[in-house]
Amino acid sequence: MRWLIQKLVLHPMRQTISEDLGQVEYILTDKTGTLTENKMIFKRCCISGTFYGNENGDCLKDPELLQAVASGSPDAIRFLIVMAICNTVVPVQSKAGAVSYKAQSQDEEALVRAAARLNMVFLEKKGNILDINFNASLVQYEVLDTLEFTSERKRMSVVVRDCQNGNIILLSKGADEAILPHAHAGQQTRIFAEAAEQYAQLGLRTLCLAWRDLEEEEYHEWSLLFKEANSSLVDREWRVAEVCQRIEHGLEIIGVAAIEDRLQDAVPETIETLRKAGINFWMLTGDKQNTAIQIARSCNFVSPEPKGQLLLINGRTEDEVGQSLERVLLTMRITNAEPKDVAFVVDGWALEIVLKHYRKAFTELAILSRTAICCRVTPSQKAQLVELLKSCEYRTLAIGDGGNDVRMIQQADIGVGISGREGLQAARAADYSIGKFRFLKRLILVHGRYSYNRTAFLSQYSFYKSLLICFIQIFFSFISGVSGTSLFNSVSLMAYNVFYTSVPVLVSVLDKDLSERTVMQHPQILFYCQAGRLLNPSTFAGWFGRSLFHAIVVFVITIHAYAFEKSEMEEASMVALSGCIWLQAFVVALETNSFTILQHIAIWGNLVAFYVINWIVSAFPSSGLYTIMFRLCRQPSYWITMFIIVAAGMGPVLALKYFRYTYRSSKINILQQAERMGGPILSLGNIEPQPRSLDKDVSPLSISQPKNRTSVYEPLLSDSPSATRRSFGPGAPFDFFQSQARLSSNYTRNCKDN
């Protein structure tokens, strides 16, 4: 499996949306396993108020912790028991006696391995009996019930019986906000909350461990309710959660464990490059706020202060969240015109209120901000955020590695799954599967951009060649008295679309307007794809005009050259068809940026094949074109006509192209000229349009819902620094900070510990 993860670079699940990769505007990414390696390492801990590992950064080598374990400290022993037992890990013993662990959660595996290094070794699981080796003595526990982890509860627990004394124990672990509020009355939890906060500021993942002794009678009463809830066919998950809540209280908090999850290689560089390409990043994670912020800073999501600024949206009630959102929105409007990197941070609780009561205001905030950090969010909230951005008509890409990211991946325009340690659920549900986050840069900048450019040319060229022959037919109908007579026979029309004009354009999939090295060095040219620079109504109008102009050239020259002579209609038809083939060959050659042997063969070889095929057809009397091509090729007037058609048809096109390249050259043209001349490629400067502008009449408390996005073609043509990328369309203003009803007391907080 690990070999597969390392070898898997890119595997497309679908190939119908590859051009959309070149138009991505927002990337919504998970953190654990996506930005990080998902290799958990137990680093620090706090047991009963004593901190371990703060000096050397590794509590497994802390002499004080080793001494506490060796001396049999009750708190330390209970801490290790929870680490070793409260999980779903399966130990596997080799023939040599070595123990390895199989776990769905990398957090659990890290805790079990750390406990083993501290002499609390989880040896074997025989049915419900767990064998624990502690300091060369065997201890057994019987698992009575397992309270599985859910994104709503954010904790898991196991009920075990100590086989030595028969005591029943509840062992729990989970996020601090899911464990600390359930501590028994009288226990001071401030030290544990401070420990979790301190570890989070270091970018570590935190878990609180708790213990509770149960009475036999209490357990049996609860066990009956738990079994009944598990066998329920209606609202099973809700009933199980309610029953779990009845026993997960009065906990004795033992300590806090801190786990390190390192970043993948080249993640900061990848994000920085994609941000230069004008792509906005949202990080959606289930970690604590401080942990998410530290990871975001290390990933280059946010620039260091003073250039970078974080705005927090927090609160427990509807009014508090509304006031916080108002402050953040007003600050974002003020700083939007300044060259500052501003991001907002929101947790799952506040996000739930925002999406329910302040959706339009949050939509404006999403448009104004290039970066967002959403922590403690559930899988459903991830999908809601993707849907929010899609409602603003942004092209979104979601990337994740676990089953909790599947909804987000499927909701986005483009889904990318990472084949990581959490399985292949995300990879199989995605449109593209990659092995590492850094491969996303090449996927978007190279493959996405090339696919967009090639699709733009292929679709518009097909439009051009079909209109060319249609316009000639229309013109011929006027001089034929609208009799319905076709200038071309059915065989020629079929061969025109199937053979003569399709082969050259098929090799356009090999065309590259810029080398991969140049594209990676200048990611800002992706703005041209995001803006629809090569595929929009204006470019379609250009190809429409070109087809009309070429049809006029071919028809007029052919009629004047052959209509007044004693020529057969088949000869005039073949001359017109030959003119179309010559023009399309030069059009394809003109639009090709990088020639290869295959492209030369396809373009010019196809032209030669046109004459070879028609010579063969002209040899058969029943073909309807008997001796036509033989006679035409012997006439100098035929070749002069072809020369005049090509010169008249391509002359204005070449002149217009020369004018554009010389006097109105784009950044791509500059890079192309530098590549062809072999000179150094200087900095292109900033071709990114300014951030989105809002209607000036919008008051601080009145916010408009964006309806349509304005085109961004003009900023890329003129490179105007004052151009805008987005603007709010007309929308009904509303007072989004009006007083509203308080949240109900049974408002359930939906969060997930990733």
624 is annotated as contributing to ligand binding? no
What amino acid occupies position 324? Answer: S
Cβ neighbours, 10 Å, residue 308: 17
The annotation status of 286 as a binding-site residue, yes or no, is yes
Contact of 264 with 298, CB cutoff 8 Å: no
731 assigned binding-site residue? no
Active-site amino acid positions:
30
| Residue 728 in marked binding region | no
280 is annotated as contributing to ligand binding: no
Please check if 30 is assigned to a binding site.
yes
Residue 326 and residue 237 in contact, taking contact as beta carbons nearer than 8 Å: no
Dist CA 696 CA 708 (whole Å) = 17
Residues 6+ apart with CB under 8 A from 338: none
SS3 label, residue 410: helix
What 3-state DSSP class applies to 687? Answer: coil
Contact predicate 31/299, CB 8 Å: no
Cα-based distances in Å from 409 to 301, 351, 427: 20, 19, 9
CA angle (31 as vertex; 334, 241 as ends), nearest 5: 105
Residue 401 is assigned to a ligand binding site: yes
Specify the 3-state DSSP secondary structure of 469: helix
Cis amide leading into 379 (omega within 30): no
Distance CA 434, CA 418 (A): 5
The per-residue DSSP string of 654-668 comes to: HHHHHHHHHHS--HH
Distance of CA 127 to the CA centre of its chain: 42
Say whether 497 counts as a known binding-site residue. no
Q: Is 376 annotated as contributing to ligand binding?
A: yes
SS3 state at 472: helix
Would the annotation count 206 as a binding residue?
A: no
Q: Which residues contact 282 (CB under 8 A, 6 or more apart)?
A: 26, 27, 28, 29, 371, 372, 373, 374, 385, 389
The tokens for 704 are 């408009």
Query: Is 235 marked as a binding-site residue?
Result: no
What is the rounded distance in angstroms from the CA atom of residue 440 to the CA atom of residue 265?
13
Q: How many CB atoms lie within 10 A of CB 654?
A: 12
Helices and strands in the chain: count of H runs, count of E runs: 30, 22
32 is in an annotated binding site: yes
Residue closest to 253 by CA, chosen among 47, 42, 54: 47
Question: Among residues 315, 274, 269, 225, which one has the least CA distance to residue 445?
Answer: 274
| Cross-strand partners of 206 | 258
Is 227 annotated in some ligand binding site?
A: no
Report the length, in residues, of the chain: 754
**Residues annotated within a binding site for Mg(2+):** 30, 32, 401, 405
Instruction: Please report, in range form, the residues annotated as the binding site.
Output: 30-32, 108, 149, 173, 205, 285-287, 376, 382, 401, 404-405
- Residue list for the binding site for ATP: 30-32, 108, 149, 173, 205, 285-287, 376, 382, 404-405
